[in-house]
Structure 1
């Protein structure tokens, strides 16, 4: 398809040019191509240039930004490249609004790293949010695949130096970022949720043990270690990869799902005491009255006493099976449930002072109870099929089968052995389990919270689990390409900062980050090169992109980003 020009003579002898949109068609009858006029634009000196420009713009919207830029390049200029801009533009605006750039630059004063380190750290955070990759791959991404204001290229050594320095300033930076975020979003920090996860490494070798303090950090030669452990160690994996070394990552999250800080411990660290360190680390933040919310892994008596120091309180999950005498008594008490919301029913149980001073709330979800009953029925049916007809087997064969069943916890709990060694389905165990269908038990030290607030507050612990899913599936916390402890810790901090930006964007816009990211990345920076020099400009904003920027209160990028003339 092309623009065809024809010339005609007027009555006064002048030559007039006419423009037509045409293309060639093959005529099989005469075995040659013929010109077919698709549209006539009329006389060149009477051309509706504004109308043609509107037509080109309308057609360009059907193309991707790079192709559209190439198609509409001004005369004399050559379109050379297009890079995604929108995602970085939004992340950078939030980075500055939270004061992270100023906080880092202030701490860079007098350092050999220079202010360029702030831009490098932002680029690494943006890489986690937009295109997670190794630090080596991130340098190529920065140089060729994205437009970052103030940073054209970077080498991997500069990335590692910036990460090492980030680890030094993280405690002070985390506090400044938290207060800026709380002010920006008017956060409610009356509830803080804490949970841990693990992330494994694709290696068979754990790190050599070194002396560590009570917080899991390495100690110097002049300090007495509390324990010895390698950072990448074998432990109880929450990813079901006990065969690989791992590290433990903890996160504190507000009721709005905003992650306020992250921690990292050796892979063999037990969960039980970690929440005490977390509270101690955040004591200097001058938070108002805080209720800590955590699952049953943190419900030890020592943790409960520690969380109450300084007027604090807690909402903790309690074990339903094999729990404390107080928990057993709470579950056995009769009472009427009160429906609150979201198919959730609650009842509070008051115990005698000699059993517990805390309040207990039993939560019941009828829909979850139906699922539990159906799951148990499948397990009992599978167990029945396994042991059916075993009475005729030798005892050694029955012992062997019982050993196999003992490796399957979902079947083991329903198996009973008679004094004679026969295998039976345990009807009493089934009845006990049925009494727990759809239930979970909460324990709180706060005397002022209503039962509804207690139940719904604990239910918001799901926000932490959502954060872990984002960290692992969107930001790609794993795989970790580092082997040095400090680099692994810095990598976790970068992932936390990326998650912080993502959750602010999701909370503000009401949309998921993958949806927002994909739309923003269609806003691109395009580069033209011509005889006079090079300039870079942005593509036209779509309505959706404009709505996202409005919701986030972020100005659109400048139309002309760079202009370099040749001398």
Structure 2
């Protein structure tokens, strides 16, 4: 396809006409002949703006690099293109949060000559961008930075520089997290009243766990009551949490991989889903003890009063006592099936529910002078619970039908198989004679729990509605873990040194922070934003006078994203390198 010129004679002279044409084979003439597809009109009356719009429209049908190549001026060679928009946006957010300046401040020696941090800061940002845009190992990340993306002021790097940046990040972790949070609070006008905390685990495909190491932060720390931490606080599998252990060690996996060594990761998140801080612990760490260390670490940040929101795994009496020390308070879920006197008393109290949303009702009951109890009821969840129970009971009924005719051995064998299925085993009872029956009393008890959950709160001023909605927002932490594992790609972790593993978790946290700010500001999801921004490319052209880099023209969706984020459109020419004389 090409532009063809024809000439016509009239009274004023020769007139040239422009056509869009392509060649077709003419079997009669035995040669290719031009076929006109579109006529642009007279050359002297050409609407060049219309042609420019046509070229832009046709370019949208091509890949960004192909569009740059197609639009290259005569005499220029197109050498290639790389995605530009994602790293460009993340870099601007990085500078808006002043992380580049923070990196220049923290970790400097108190005496002597200051360290030059510009190169380390650029590599650190590139590693964070890699987690958000194309998660990979550090060796692959160095290749990605050098060949597959444009990072401002970082043309290339290697794996040694990446590891040095990670080692530095681990050294300055505490100061960096505190100063980054201060900038995030200023940028987004955060009011940290509710702080959500939860943990997850990530496993390593190792044959053996790490060698045990004695750790100062376990076993000796005193809580607010003066009691040591070791007694009564046991880790997964009944192991003493104060027992020395390697960093990658066996524990109760939240990824259902108890057969592999793991580490435990904790994260504090605001009600808007902004990740505030991240922690890493050995794989056998117990949730019952971790939140106390988290509270102590956050106390150093001199925040105003915090209401801690946590799930049922942190509801021990010692944890609750520790969390309500000082000015802080808590909202914690309670295990309805724990059988504790307080749970039984709360569920037995009569009273009316108050509708707070379309699918939530709450009722507050007073059974303690130091804590408030709020029962939450979700009618939709109650219907799901009832339907699930009916299916389980029907399946169990079918399994135990006619078992009275079986021998004691066969009946015991079936009983053992059902025991391995907690959902079914919950509704099974065995008579004194060894017969298998449906536990009708258990069914009736479960009916009373359908769609309900119980909350404890130590704040006397929060309304029951605020308590319920505050706990419901704990889903933001779960969404953070989901994005950390799926979007930021926490796993697999390729490192073996504890310091590098901790630094890897910090890189994922920084990437999640930039991602969540982008989502909060634009109201869109990161996968869709990333896909759109990756279509903004940077092409490299060479000519007789040198080399230059040109950015594709931003599309309307790309312009809208940049406008919402308050980021200026990129310059069309990103770099010029004159040819050597």
Question: TM-score normalised by the shorter chain: which range applies?
Answer: over 0.9
Q: Which position in structure 2 is the counterpart of 1:54?
A: 53
Tell me the SS of whatever aligns to 1:317: strand
- Residue 341 of structure 1: how far off its partner (Å): 0.7
2: CA distance, partners of 1:470 / 1:485: 23
- Residue 32 of structure 1: how far off its partner (Å): 3.8
Classify 1:411/1:71 alpha carbon distance in 2 versus 1 (closer, same or farther; 3 Å).
same
1:314 equivalent to 2:324? Answer no
1:426 equivalent to 2:442? Answer no
1: CA distance, partners of 2:101 / 2:553: 31
Question: What CA deviation, in whole Å up to 9, does each residue of 1:330-373 have, x standing for no partner?
Answer: 111111111111410000011155xxx31100000011000000
Q: Which position in structure 2 is the counterpart of 1:220?
A: none
1:204 equivalent to 2:207? Answer yes
Classify 1:228/1:113 alpha carbon distance in 2 versus 1 (closer, same or farther; 3 Å).
farther
Q: Determine if contact 1:26/1:34 at 8 Å carries over to the other structure.
A: yes
Matches within 5 A, 1:428-443: 428-443=441-456
Q: Which position in structure 2 is the counterpart of 1:333?
A: 349
Tell me the SS of whatever aligns to 2:351: coil
CA RMSD of aligned residues (A): 2.1
Q: Which position in structure 2 is the counterpart of 1:84?
A: 83
Question: What CA deviation, in whole Å up to 9, does each residue of 1:240-268 have, x standing for no partner?
Answer: 11111111000000011100000000111
Of residues 447, 466, 489 in structure 1, which corresponds to 2:479? 466
Of residues 508, 511, 515 in structure 1, which corresponds to 2:528? 515
- Residue 8 of structure 1: how far off its partner (Å): 6.9
Of residues 390, 394, 415 in structure 2, which corresponds to 1:381? 394
Question: What CA deviation, in whole Å up to 9, does each residue of 1:401-438 have, x standing for no partner?
Answer: 11111111111111111111111110001101111000
Q: Determine if contact 2:562/2:568 at 8 Å carries over to the other structure.
A: yes
Classify 1:326/1:34 alpha carbon distance in 2 versus 1 (closer, same or farther; 3 Å).
same
Question: What CA deviation, in whole Å up to 9, does each residue of 1:176-200 have, x standing for no partner?
Answer: 1111111111112110000000111
Where does the alignment leave 5 or more consecutive residues of structure 2 unmatched? 221-240
Classify 1:447/1:107 alpha carbon distance in 2 versus 1 (closer, same or farther; 3 Å).
closer
2: CA distance, partners of 1:38 / 1:398: 83
Classify 1:22/1:387 alpha carbon distance in 2 versus 1 (closer, same or farther; 3 Å).
same
Matches within 5 A, 1:30-429: 30-41=29-40, 47-107=46-106, 110=113, 114-214=117-217, 226-351=242-367, 353=369, 357-429=370-442
2: CA distance, partners of 1:65 / 1:450: 54
2: CA distance, partners of 1:341 / 1:171: 40
Q: How many residues in Structure 1 have an aligned counterpart in Structure 2?
A: 556
Classify 1:87/1:215 alpha carbon distance in 2 versus 1 (closer, same or farther; 3 Å).
farther
- Residue 123 of structure 1: how far off its partner (Å): 0.3
Classify 1:490/1:286 alpha carbon distance in 2 versus 1 (closer, same or farther; 3 Å).
same
TM-score (norm 2): 0.92
Question: What CA deviation, in whole Å up to 9, does each residue of 1:279-321 have, x standing for no partner?
Answer: 1011111111110000111011111111111111000000101
Q: Which position in structure 2 is the counterpart of 1:537?
A: 550
Q: Which position in structure 2 is the counterpart of 1:26?
A: 25
Q: Determine if contact 1:197/1:238 at 8 Å carries over to the other structure.
A: yes
1: CA distance, partners of 2:340 / 2:327: 25
TM-score (norm 1): 0.94
2: CA distance, partners of 1:216 / 1:274: 12
- Residue 234 of structure 1: how far off its partner (Å): 1.1
- Residue 28 of structure 1: how far off its partner (Å): 4.0
Classify 1:45/1:267 alpha carbon distance in 2 versus 1 (closer, same or farther; 3 Å).
same
1:547 equivalent to 2:563? Answer no
Where does the alignment leave 5 or more consecutive residues of structure 1 unmatched? 218-224
Q: Which position in structure 2 is the counterpart of 1:221?
A: none
